[in-house]
Structure 1
C-alpha cells in the first residue's frame, strides 16, 4: 500500500508508542530507530516514506572534501529526494562526525523534504535549527562527515539505529523517536491504529477515575464488556 493522504492523516494522529504495540502484535519487535530523537522537543508528529542514505566507515582515499563533488555524494542524493519524503541516514551510530550541516539541511528544506532521521549527528547545530528542517538524531558534533564516514549511496536497504529500513517504508516520528512501518503492513496498521489509540485513551480515562490496573490493563472479560458498551454509546453519538 502506498502512503496516501488519507493514510498519512491517520498516522499523524497515532503515537509512535501505539504503533510499536501494534507492530509487536504482528511479530515485529525491532522497529524503533535507536538514537534518533528530535533536536527540538516541540516537534509535531511527522509521517513520510523513507528515502535512504548510507555511510560506511571512513577510508582515507575516499572520505575527502573532494568527494563532495562526486556523482555519488550527499549532494547528489539530496537532489534525488522527492517532496514529502523522510531522509533516513545510516551513520552506524557514529557520533563524532556530522552527517549533514546547515547548507545541506537548508537545501532539503527547500526541496520539501519532510524530515531527516539519522542514528548519527549533525554539525552547524544553530544553522540546522534555523533551516526549519525537522531533524531526529543523536546530537551534534563539529567535524564534517568525511572525518569519520564515507558516503556510499542512496535508495538501498540500510540499517539505521539497528533497524532495517527499505526505501518506501513509512516513517512516523514524534517526541518518542522514529518508528518504521514496513510498506507491506501499512494498510493493516492504518486500519487498526485508530482503534488501538481509542482503547488506550479509554484506559487512561479509567485510571484517572481511580480504576485499578489488574483487570483493566490488560482487560478482563468484565472490563472488555464495559469498553464495548462505551464504544456503542460513542458510535451512537456520532
Structure 2
C-alpha cells in the first residue's frame, strides 16, 4: 500500500488537466511497458456527438442489468447519480443491449455536480442536446429506446467490467482514471495514475521534438536512430 497522502481536490484536478494534454496512444504504450497490455476498451466505444472533446476523469462506477419493471423511473439510478463528485467520470456497466442508459436530463444533473463526462458500455440518446451541454460522452452505441421498464441500476461505486480491446473485459474500480480521445478509451489503475502520467508526458514531449525536426528536414530513419521507437 502506498504511503503517499491522498490527493486533495486541487491535486486531483491538476492531474486531470495534465491528462487532457496527453494521448491515449502514449498512455497505452506506457501501460504496455508496465506489464498491463489489456487496459484499452473495445473499438466500438466512440464520442457522442462525434466532435466531442476528449474525456478525462476519475472513475465513478455505476452497474445495471436488464430487469423488467413498471414505468415510472429508476430510483436507484437517481440515487447513484447523486453521489458523483467534481472531476469524476461516470462509468456505466451492464448487460443492456439496444437501450440507452441515460439521456440529456441525467447528463445535466451530473454536470451540475461537477461530473466531467461519461463512459457508457451501452447506449445513450438525446445526443445533440447533450452536446450543447458540452458534456463529453463515449459510448458503444446510440438509441432512442429508454432504459425505464427495461434496465435498472443495481449498484454504484463497485468494481465493474467494461468490454475490452485485447481482452474480453477490462475491470474498472472506483478511483481508477479514464482517458478517451479520437483513438479510443483506456483505463489507468488508481495506484499508477501519477506514474503513467509522468511517462506519458515524457513521450509526448519527445514526439513534439520529432515532429518539429521532421518538418525541418530530418528523415524518418534519422529520427528513429536519434530517438528510438516512440
Q: How far did 1:224 drift?
A: 4.1
TM-score, normalisation: structure 2: 0.81
1: CA distance between counterparts of 2:218 and 2:87? 43
- Confirm or deny: 8 A CA contact 2:41 2:184 kept in the other structure: yes
Question: 5+ residue gaps in structure 2?
Answer: 1-5, 165-169
Picking from 182, 189, 203, the partner of 2:210 is: 203
- Confirm or deny: 8 A CA contact 2:93 2:161 kept in the other structure: yes
Structure with the higher strand share, 1 or 2: 2
Structure with the higher helix share, 1 or 2: 1
1:101 matched residue in structure 2: 103
- Confirm or deny: 8 A CA contact 1:54 1:90 kept in the other structure: yes
1:1-238 equivalences under 5 Å are 2=7, 4-34=12-42, 35-56=44-65, 58-60=66-68, 63-66=69-72, 68-69=74-75, 73-92=76-95, 94-146=96-148, 148-162=150-164, 163-214=170-221, 216-217=223-224, 220=225, 223-224=226-227
Q: Deviations over 1:161-213 (max 9, x none)?
A: 33210000011222223221111111211222221111122233344345444
For residue 204 of structure 2, give the secondary structure of its aligned residue in structure 1: helix
1: CA distance between counterparts of 2:154 and 2:61? 11
The structure 1 segments of at least 4 consecutive aligned residues displaced by more than 6 Å after TM superposition are none
Q: Deviations over 1:95-129 (max 9, x none)?
A: 41000012211211222210011121112333333
2: CA distance between counterparts of 1:41 and 1:125? 10
Question: 5+ residue gaps in structure 1?
Answer: 226-238
- Over 3 Å counting, the alpha-carbon distance change for 1:64 and 1:203 in structure 2 is farther
- Confirm or deny: 8 A CA contact 2:122 2:140 kept in the other structure: yes
- Over 3 Å counting, the alpha-carbon distance change for 1:138 and 1:11 in structure 2 is same
2: CA distance between counterparts of 1:27 and 1:112? 33
- Over 3 Å counting, the alpha-carbon distance change for 1:9 and 1:127 in structure 2 is closer
2: CA distance between counterparts of 1:125 and 1:131? 10
2: CA distance between counterparts of 1:123 and 1:41? 13
Q: How far did 1:144 drift?
A: 1.2
Larger Rg: 1
Aligned length: 214
Q: Deviations over 1:37-86 (max 9, x none)?
A: 21134333342110000122x133xx4434613xxx11111111112211
TM-score, normalisation: structure 1: 0.79
